[in-house]
Chain A
Amino acid sequence: MAIRARRYADAKAQASSNTELLWWVFMRVSGLVMVFLVLGHIYMNFVLIDVSTINYTYVAERLSNTTWKIYDWLILVLAMLHGMNGLRYVMDDWIRNPARRFATKAVVYSLAVLVVIVGSFSLFNHDFSKDLKQAAQTQGSVKP
């Protein structure tokens, strides 16, 4: 059962388990961190540049940089955990039938794991700098 308290002391009293209290704390901590990470991400890729200029070359250059790999992976993992736990509260509220709730959660959590795996592979299992170098050698510059 999700915690409905508005204070840490109340949350502690209401928590059905230590895990539930831990999630309550995690939502606040990850949320505070993501205010800076995500608003920074939006500022860099939506305000500083025109989004309609974003293409393969832009992404490949960005994902060749270790700083952005770590930055993006932090957002991916924190946002996925924060979002999926939030959706768990929503599913507990909105899906009354236990069998249907279980089935929905199984599908939703599987999708989350899949997206985290695909995202992590693109960040850490692919050498974009090699692609860019190869493209530069064969055609002078990378076609947009």
Chain B
Amino acid sequence: MYRGREGQWAFFLHRISGIALLLWLLLHTLNISSAMWGPAVSNRLMLFFHVPIFQVGLLLVTAAALYHSFNGLRIIIMDFTGWGIKYQRQLWYGVIALCVLVAVPGLILTVPRIIHAATHGGAQ
């Protein structure tokens, strides 16, 4: 099915990012759902998730979402076009390039906010 290193990495990263995203879906759904028990419960839970280390974790989850999205599109291209499998390696480098292209402005925007929240004990 896969020959060569890139295909193996593409598959492995897709699987690991998928598991991470599923775990996030469970945590995030329960966390946001807690709003139905009122501000006392849900604000305390959300403050817990605003701890800087979780914000860094959130960046990793976002990276997982980007990679899983773009590599998923690569899989769809391989499945439904005649040329997709032939260029799977080039497509994978395209996936990585797209991730970096989106991640750089995203990090420039969000990292200062995280640092500000961490040093000032709250949002900007």
List residues of B (90-124) whose CB comes within 8 Å of A's CBs.
106, 109-110, 113-114, 117, 122-124
Inter-chain contact A35/B73, CB cutoff 8 Å = yes
Distance (Å) between the CB of A134 and the closest chain B CB? 11
List residues of A (111-144) whose CB comes within 8 Å of B's CBs.
111-112, 115, 118-119, 121-122, 125-126, 128, 131, 135, 142-144
State how many residues of chain A have any CB contact under 8 Å with chain B. 50
Q: Is B32 an interface residue (CB 8 A)?
A: yes
In the docked arrangement, what's the CA distance between A83 and B85, Å?
Answer: 24
Inter-chain contact A50/B113, CB cutoff 8 Å = yes
- The binding surface of chain B is classed by DSSP as helix
In the docked arrangement, what's the CA distance between A4 and B7, Å?
Answer: 14
Task: Contacts A7-B79, A42-B65 given; indicate if A52 touches B39 (C-beta within 8 A).
Answer: no
List residues of B (12-45) whose CB comes within 8 Å of A's CBs.
15, 18-19, 21-22, 25-26, 29-30, 32-36, 38-39, 42-43
Name A's B-contacting residues (CB within 8 A): 4-8, 11, 28, 31-32, 34-35, 38-39, 42, 46-47, 50-57, 59-60, 63, 76, 79-80, 83-84, 86-87, 90, 111-112, 115, 118-119, 121-122, 125-126, 128, 131, 135, 142-144
Inter-chain contact B33/A83, CB cutoff 8 Å = no
Inter-chain contact A122/B32, CB cutoff 8 Å = yes
In the docked arrangement, what's the CA distance between A50 and B116, Å?
Answer: 11
- The binding surface of chain A is classed by DSSP as helix
Inter-chain contact A122/B19, CB cutoff 8 Å = no
Distance (Å) between the CB of B95 and the closest chain A CB? 12
Task: Contacts A63-B35, A87-B22 given; indicate if A53 touches B123 (C-beta within 8 A).
Answer: yes
Distance (Å) between the CB of B4 and the closest chain A CB? 14
In the docked arrangement, what's the CA distance between A38 and B38, Å?
Answer: 26
In the docked arrangement, what's the CA distance between A76 and B24, Å?
Answer: 12
Inter-chain contact B19/A90, CB cutoff 8 Å = yes
Point out the residues of chain B lying under 8 angstroms from A125, CB to CB: 36
In the docked arrangement, what's the CA distance between A57 and B35, Å?
Answer: 9
In the docked arrangement, what's the CA distance between A121 and B29, Å?
Answer: 11
Give the contacting residue for A56; candidates B22, B35, B122; CB below 8 A.
B35
Inter-chain contact A47/B69, CB cutoff 8 Å = no
List residues of B (39-82) whose CB comes within 8 Å of A's CBs.
39, 42-43, 46, 50, 55, 58, 62, 65-66, 69, 72-73, 75-76, 78-80
